[in-house]
Amino acid sequence: MTDQIQTVYLNGKFMPIEQAYVPVLDRGFIFGDGVYEVIPVYSRRPFRLPEHLRRLQHSLDGIRLKNPHTDEVWADLFEQLIARNEGEDQYLYLHITRGVAKRDHAFPVNVPPTIFMMSSPLVTPPEALRATGVAAVSALDNRWLRCDIKAIALLPNVLLRQLAIDAGAAETLLLRDGFLTEGAASNIFVVANNTLLAPPKTHLMLPGITYDVILELAAAHGIPHQVREITEQEVRTAQELWQTSSTREVVPITTLDGKPVGNGKPGPLFHKMYALYQDYKRAVRAGGV
C-alpha cells in the first residue's frame, strides 16, 4: 500500500481527510442526529447499491430528514470517491446529519444537512479465522426500539461491543425479552436441527444487506432455513452460530460466554455458506450478478 492521502467528501467537495472539518454545532456532534451507511466496494463497484440506497432512504425517513440526493447523484458521488481512493476493494462510509444550527432539540428550519463520505481499503477477516472462529459474549439488548434505523448515535452499540472486547471476544450477541435480536455491529444466524435460523427483520434489528445475501444463497442452494424468532435457549444450544456484516462477511462464532458452540469448531454449514459467499462475490466482480 502507498502513503496516498485519503480523499474524503464533505458537503459538495472532495478533499484530503486532514482538511475535513465539521463545526462543533453540527447536530451530529451535539445530538447524534443523523444516519449512516457502510457499503462494501468490490473491484471498485459498490456492492448491492440499490439495496444500500433503499436502506439509507428508510433510515432518513425514520429520522424525518429529506434525502439530499437522488440515487443517480449518490451513485455518481460514490464513483468519484472510489476513484480517488486506494484499493480495488473498499469500505465506503456515508454519513448525513441534520446540519449545523444553534443547540435546540427541535428540528432547525431551512438548514442544509451535513454530508460526509470516506472510503478506505476493505480489510476482510483473515483466513486463519475460518479455522478457529471467534468468541462472542451475550448481553441484554438495552438499545432503543428503532434499531432498524442505521443511526449514527451508536453509544449503546459501542458499550455493548466493548463488553466483548473486555472479554477478549469479537462480538456481543444481544437478547431482548428472551429472544435473539442481532450483534452489537452485525447480524447473527443460528444453526439448530441442521436448519439455518435467522431472526425476522423488525424494528429491533438492523436489516443487514449481508443478512439478505445469506438468506438468498441458502434459498438458491437448498439449505434448509427459517426466518423466525429465536429463543435464548436455541442460541445457547446451537450447532453453529455465525456473524454477518458488510466488513466481516460471514464469520463463525465458536464460543459463547466461554462455552463451545457445537463442538467448538466452525461447522459444516458455515464452510458451505462461506464457499457460496466467495463464489457469489466472484460472480459480482465478473459483473454476472
- The one catalytic residue in 13, 66, 102, 150 is 150
Give the residue with the Cβ less far from ligand PDD, 33 or 182.
182
Does position 246 interact with ligand PDD (CB under 6 A)? The reply is: yes
Candidates 65-73, 97-105, 179-187, 224-232: pick the segment binding ligand PDD (CB under 6 A). 179-187
Query: Residues 209, 215, 218, 235: which binds ligand PDD (CB under 6 A)?
Result: 209
Q: How many Cα atoms sit within 13 Å of 16 on the Cβ side?
A: 5
Binding segment for ligand PDD (CB under 6 A), chosen from 130-138, 206-214, 217-225, 260-268, is 206-214
Interface residue with ligand PDD, options 187, 190, 252, 276 (CB under 6 A): 187
Catalytic residue status for 150: yes
Tell which residue, 164, 160, 221, has the closest CA to residue 196.
221
Q: Which of residues 81-100 bind ligand PDD (CB under 6 A)?
A: none
Q: How far is the CB of 56 from ligand PDD (least distance, A)?
A: 11
- With CB under 6 A as the contact rule, the residue among 26, 141, 171, 182 that binds ligand PDD is 182
Measured from the CB atom, is 209 or 256 closer to ligand PDD? 209
User: Binding pattern to ligand PDD, positions 11-40, x when CB under 6 A?
Assistant: ---------------------------x--
**Of 143-162, which residues contact ligand PDD (CB under 6 A)?**
157
Nearest to 228 by CA among 186, 192, 272, 252: 192
Pick the closer one to ligand PDD by CB: 203 or 260.
Answer: 203
Reduced 3-state DSSP string for the chain: CCCCCCEEEECCEEEEHHHCCCCCCEHHHHHCCEEEEEEEEECCEECCHHHHHHHHHHHHHHCCCCCCCCHHHHHHHHHHHHHCCCCCCEEEEEEEECCECCCCCCCCCCCCCEEEEEEEECCCCCCHHHHHCEEEEEEECCCCCCCCCCECCCHHHHHHHHHHHHCCCCEEEEEECCEEEEECCCEEEEEECCEEEECCCCCCCCCCHHHHHHHHHHHHCCCCEEECCCEHHHHHCCCEEEEEECCCEEEEEEEECCEECCCCCCCHHHHHHHHHHHHHHHHHHCCCC
- CA 67 to CA 229: how far, in whole Å? 33
Residue pointed to by grid coordinates 464452510: 271
Whichever of 39 and 269 has its CB closer to ligand PDD, that residue is 39
- Closest distance of CB 210 from ligand PDD, Å: 3
Q: Which residue of 59, 97, 186, 254 would you call a contact of ligand PDD, by CB under 6 A?
A: 186
Give the one residue of 90, 97, 172, 210 binding ligand PDD; rule: CB under 6 A: 210
Residue 196's Cα: distance from chain center in Å?
Answer: 20
State the nearest-atom distance from the C-beta of 154 to ligand PDD, in Å.
Answer: 7
Q: Which is nearer to ligand PDD, 190 or 209 (CB)?
A: 209
Binding site for ligand PDD (CB under 6 A): 38, 157, 182, 185-187, 206, 208-211, 244-247
Active site amino acids: 150
